[in-house]
Amino acid sequence: MAKTILITGCSSGIGYDAAHGLKAAGWKVLATCRKEEDCERLRAEGLTSFQLDVADPESIDAGFNEALARGRGRLDALYNNAAFACPGAAEDIPTGALREIFETNLFGLHDLTNRAIKVMRAQGDNGEGRIIQCSSVLGMVGYRWRGAYVATKFALEGLTDVLRLEMRDTDIKIVLIEPGPITSKFRKNAITHFEKWVDWENSARRQQYEDDLLNQLYKSRGPAKFELPASAVTKVILKALDAPNPKPRYAITVPTHLMEVARRILPGRALDWVLAKG
């Protein structure tokens, strides 16, 4: 019998590729999206898809119950992928924007994780299942203009590290994956939140916005340096799912591997200099 995995944020990018890739690898994939029109598109492509908005507790409840019904009460794996960014200088990010991004990138994820653990504890003699959290290279190091997103990923890394330690007495494995630049609609989606929350025109850093961040967001660019396709992440997810004893974290892309080393060996001021150069 095929194993069942629940994936959030499948409308595009990493989640979309993971849904198709894991289905092709023999998994029973429950691919969730925030919008019904995206679910309809995925169903037309042959996937099992239904709504689950991780920022909405009622949607989480309904979506998770739907997942259990589809899996006949069993859930072998959860891949927490849904997330977004709200770029801008930290001093220009309103508290409301932080609350909104944490609701999706951490609080909803935590809710789903706890629900999954309760189900997985009832599977096997010592609990059985796998939970994969999608972090980022920005869960390792800070980066200018990305303070809100960095804050959520640092929080996710810390929470996941503790959860992994606490679950050592079970057969429920907790894994972090840490992508760097991946081909997706992430930048396009970030613009929506930037325009909603950041009053850059009245910022003390207005000139820096004009010289730097606005170009990053709005100027048409090709792939970023070292950018990989979303399939590179899917390949690592499969490795983390199939390994009898998966690693605590999997770094993906050259920048992530470099930052993994840099934060271990560089003094704080030297690391700040490297990151400030961007």
Number of CB atoms found within 10 A of residue 218's CB:
11
Helices 147-166 and 95-102, axial angle in degrees (round to 10)? 40
218 given a catalytic annotation: no
Spatial distance between the Cα atoms of 38 and 15, rounded to a whole number of angstroms = 12
State residue 176 phi and psi, 5-degree precision.
Answer: -105, 135
Spatial distance between the Cα atoms of 220 and 262, rounded to a whole number of angstroms = 30
Q: Which member of 16, 149, 209, 250 is catalytic?
A: 149
Tell me the residue type at 273.
W
| Stated length of the chain | 278
Give the DSSP letter of residue 205.
Answer: T
State residue 266 phi and psi, 5-degree precision.
Answer: -90, 140
Q: Please, where are the H alpha helices in the chain? A: 13-24, 36-44, 57-70, 95-102, 108-121, 147-166, 186-197, 206-208, 214-218, 231-242, 254-265, 268-277
Q: At 177, is the secondary structure helix, strand, or coil?
A: strand
User: What amino acid positions are annotated as catalytic residues?
Assistant: 149
